[in-house]
Chains A and B, each alone.
Chain A
Amino acid sequence: MDKTQDQSKNAKIVKWLLISISTLFIAVMLLLPLVTVIIEAFRQGFEVYLKAIADEYTVKATLLTLEATLFAVVINTVFGLFAAWTVTKFKFHGKKLLTTLIDIPVTVSPIIAGLIFVLTFGRQSFIYPLLEKADVKIVFAVPGIVLATIFVTFPFISRELIPVLEAQGTDEEEAAALMGASLPRIFTKVTFPHIKWAFLYGVVLCTARAMGEFGAVSVLSGHIRGKTNTLPLHVEILFNEFKYVPAFAVSSILVILAVIVLIIRSVVEYHGKKDG
Chain B
Amino acid sequence: MKRSKRVIPGFGLSMGVTLSILGLVVVIPLASLVVFTAQMSFADIIKTITRDRILASFRVSFLTAFIASLINLVMGVILAWVLVRYKFPFKRILDGMIELPFALPTAVAGITLTSLTADTGLFGKFFGIFGVKIAYTRIGITVALVFIGIPFVVRAVQPVLEKLDASYEEAAGVLGASRSKIFFKVILPEIMPAALTGFGLAFGRCIGEYGSVVFIAGNKPFETEITPLIIMSELQEYDYPSATAIALVMLIASFVILFATNLIQARSAKILKGDS
Contact = CB atoms under 8 A, between A and B. Distances in A.
A78 B29 CA distance: 20
B109 to A, nearest CB: 7
A145 interface: no
A53 B254 CA distance: 39
B86 A19 contact: yes
A108 B11 CA distance: 30
A148 to B, nearest CB: 10
B104 A120 contact: no
A29 interface: yes
A109 interface: yes
B218 interface: no
B108 A255 contact: yes
A86 B11 contact: yes
Interface in A1-51: 7, 10-11, 14-15, 18-19, 21-23, 25-26, 29-34, 36-37, 40
Given A111-B232, A178-B7, A32 B26 contact: no
The dominant DSSP class at the B interface is helix
Contact of A79 (B9, B17, B228): B17
Nearest to A125: B32
A247 B111 contact: yes
A254 B105 contact: yes
A171 to B, nearest CB: 10
Given A19-B88, A79-B18, A109 B115 contact: no
B186 interface: no
Interface stretch (B50-58, B132-140, B191-199, B204-212): B204-212
Nearest to B90: A23
Contact of B116 (A21, A33, A244): A33
B254 A33 contact: no
Contacts of A265: 96, 99, 103
Contacts, number: 263
Contacts of B179: 7, 10-11, 14
Contacts of B7: 173-174, 177-178
A58 interface: no
Interface residues of B, number: 82
A89 B15 CA distance: 11
The dominant DSSP class at the A interface is helix
Interface residues of A, number: 96
B21 A75 contact: yes
B46 interface: no
A86 B100 contact: no
B27 interface: yes
Interface string A77-109: 011001101100111100000100110110111
Interface stretch (A129-137, A192-200, A231-239): A231-239
A224 interface: no
Contact of A251 (B32, B82, B108, B240): B108
A120 B32 contact: yes
B247 interface: yes
B247 A32 contact: no
Nearest to B61: A109
A262 interface: yes
A218 B232 contact: yes
Contacts of A18: 78, 81-82, 86
B190 interface: no
Contact of A108 (B9, B114, B238, B254): B254
The 6 closest A-B pairs by CB, nearest first: A212-B105, A109-B208, A214-B211, A215-B210, A258-B103, A261-B103
6 contacts: A25-B75, A30-B97, A79-B17, A186-B9, A219-B235, A251-B108
